[in-house]
Amino acid sequence: MHRIQEINWGIIGCGNVTELKSGPAFNKVEHSRLVAVMRRDAALAQDYAERHGVARWYSDASELINDPEVNAVYIATPPDTHALYAIQAMKAGKPVYVEKPMARNYQECKEMLRVSAETGMPLFVAYYRRTLLAFLKVKEIIENGIIGNPLTVNVRLHKSVPDRDLKPETQSWHVNPEIAGAGYFYDLASHQFDFLDFLFGPIIQVHGIAANQAGYYPAEDTVSGTFLFGNGVIGTGSWCFVVAKGSEEDIIEISGTKGKLTFSSFQHGDVKLTTPEGTVSFSFQNTENIQHYLIQQVVSELRGVEDCVSTGKTAARTSAVLDEMVKNYYTSKHDENKRIKGSCRNI
């Protein structure tokens, strides 16, 4: 691919995630600027552009993709259009940075990768924990052998059901499998599995079971499983999104031959290191725009300066694992006409 020295971004889907987490960072990173935004609701697109000082706005994604000034596209829509817009942008000769999960299923991810290879257009995914200080500290401790050889990882994420999801008419798209691919498991556990892939490399075996225990919405609300990394680390996990308020939990524990690491995925609290000498805590402050460091890496790779740590290839591996974890629920309890899943037996 021809290197781009000045990255002019266009955003497809300028919704909530772009207000603070990502959008402003495109103008803060050197050699990067946001020049156009798109949202299907023209009034909301115009409002976003005016509030963020963006020159142009569109209500049609094709118009933004074909804007001659836009030379890179950030896709921040719900997952059901990730593959559609990413493929359109890459075929138009424009690199893509897409929100997570990469797509609704592994099959869509594979098609995105195929087009990326065919067009030579880079494809990046917004798994920004790979660049946050707390998570990099976890990686540093493990790589320095401070907890010895890592043996096991246990993930527990239990959340209460939001009030909006108690009624069908107010439910979030996150619990509509036709849009999200599955339920909150895809939205949240995707971050966790991607980070573990960053730590330990690819998962080579997966065994999962998913169920809808509360019956509030069509998607699964509870998932449990085991997984094996290529380096021998054994993982277990429990995800439930309908526990009682006050029973919520967000923790990852990594045990090794010399110690243990404990940290949260979404609370961004301390990283705790426990060894025979005692427990030490490390505190970190996130940047104002949490995707800043990852966007900086994307820009640097497009300019030919450094490689980005979160690519379509790494993100597709996470989608393959997610598919495998919930496949029993969607093959046994749902009409396949409502949800087409890509097989990921060969991870």
Q: How confident is the model at residue 1 (pLDDT cuts 50, 70, 90)?
A: low
**Which domains can be identified in the chain, with CATH numbers?**
7-126+291-307 (3.40.50.720), 130-287+320-332 (3.30.360.10)
Beta strands in 121-168 (DSSP E): 123-125, 150-158
Helix/strand/coil for 321: helix
Residues, the chain, total? 347
Q: Given its phi and psi angles, is residue 122 left (phi above 0), alpha (psi -120 to 50 degrees) or beta?
A: beta
Instruction: Tell me how far apart the alpha carbons of residues 221 and 327 are, in angstroms, rounded to a whole number.
Output: 13
Instruction: Tell me how far apart the alpha carbons of residues 296 and 198 are, in angstroms, rounded to a whole number.
Output: 18
Helix H or strand E encompassing 257: none
Instruction: Tell me how far apart the alpha carbons of residues 145 and 283 are, in angstroms, rounded to a whole number.
Output: 20
pLDDT in tens, 150-166: 999 999 999 999 999 99
Does the structure show a pLDDT above 60 at 110?
A: yes
**Those residues with Cβ within 8 angstroms of residue 249's Cβ, 6 or more apart along the chain or in another chain:** 156, 157, 158, 243
**pLDDT value at residue 337:** 40
- As beta bridge partners, residue 228 has 205, 234
**pLDDT value at residue 268:** 80
Q: How confident is the model at residue 127 (pLDDT cuts 50, 70, 90)?
A: very high
pLDDT in tens, 162-177: 999 999 999 999 999 9
pLDDT in tens, 246-289: 999 999 999 999 999 999 999 888 999 999 999 999 999 999 99
Helices (H), the chain: 16-19, 25-28, 42-52, 61-65, 82-91, 106-119, 133-143, 177-180, 184, 190-200, 292-302, 312-332
Q: How many CB atoms within 10 Å of residue 121?
A: 22
Instruction: Tell me how far apart the alpha carbons of residues 186 and 183 are, in angstroms, rounded to a whole number.
Output: 6
Type of residue found at 27: N
Type of residue found at 3: R
Helix/strand/coil for 157: strand
Short-list 284, 259, 254, CA closest to 269: 284
Short-list 136, 240, 229, CA closest to 189: 240
Average pLDDT over every residue of 43-71 = 98
